[in-house]
Amino acid sequence: MTLRTLLEEIRRDGVRDERVLEALARVPRERFVPSSHRGLAHGNHPLPIACEQTISQPTIVAMMTELAELQPGDRVLEVGTGSGYQTAVLAEMLGLGAAQDETVEDAGSELVSLEILPELASGAGTLLKELGYRGLDLRLADGHRGCPERAPFDAIVVTAAPARLPMALADQLAERGRLVIPVGVEHQELLVITKIDGATRERRVIPVRFVPMTGES
């Protein structure tokens, strides 16, 4: 499958935000997978990475990014850096990519990404730096706790599934902030939690299958 074919398939799957599709087009997914799987990088399916983790299906990455409703100047938290692929897509949306001018970055966009596994954190950090992403705050940390010292966040995107919603993450949302998160064990659902007038509202989107979120339960 070519990149163009992949993007067309993602459109058919329901992703309509052209900014999201353009962000995916700018991120070289083949750089974020093991060399043995690079020929499959433009396939619309998850692929294995180190530490028995996965890089998500491009449609799911695009959908979660669209649901986060990112705007220039947003402060964003990602929980689960993994390979760094979703991180790169979020960075592109926020104007933190090497190929973009600095007008969006000047708006004050911030991206914090947490990873609990040292091997993944190190590898993603090295690759993202090589690809020219700038202004990223990558941390080795337990994602259940979020990043309270950098809160509140306009959007939080979680790339692994906790058994139940970590309330620390919901508490770190700004007013009208969006938390996009898969939740569940055997049966997982993608949820969008929105903070309105200080209270959270939950929307169930689709059934999903993510690797379990590790760390504090």
**Cα–Cα distance for residue pair 185/211, rounded to 1 Å:** 9
For CA atoms 76, 16, 19, 2, the dihedral sign is positive
- Decide if 157 contacts 76 (C-beta within 8 A): yes
DSSP-assigned letters across all residues of 140-178: E--GGG--GGG--EEEEEE-SB-SS--HHHHHTEEEEEE
Planar angle of CA 45, 169, 111, nearest 5 degrees: 65
**Cα–Cα distance for residue pair 36/53, rounded to 1 Å:** 15
* Catalytic-residue membership of 217: no
187, two tokens: 């049966």
DSSP-assigned letters across all residues of 46-95: -EE-GGG-EEPPHHHHHHHHHHHT--TT-EEEEE--TTSHHHHHHHHHTT
Other Cβ atoms less than 10 A from the Cβ of 131: the count is: 18
Q: Which of 56, 83, 109, 113 is catalytic?
A: 56
Picking from 90, 80, 117, the residue whose alpha carbon sits closest to that of residue 19 is: 90
Active site residue ranges? 56
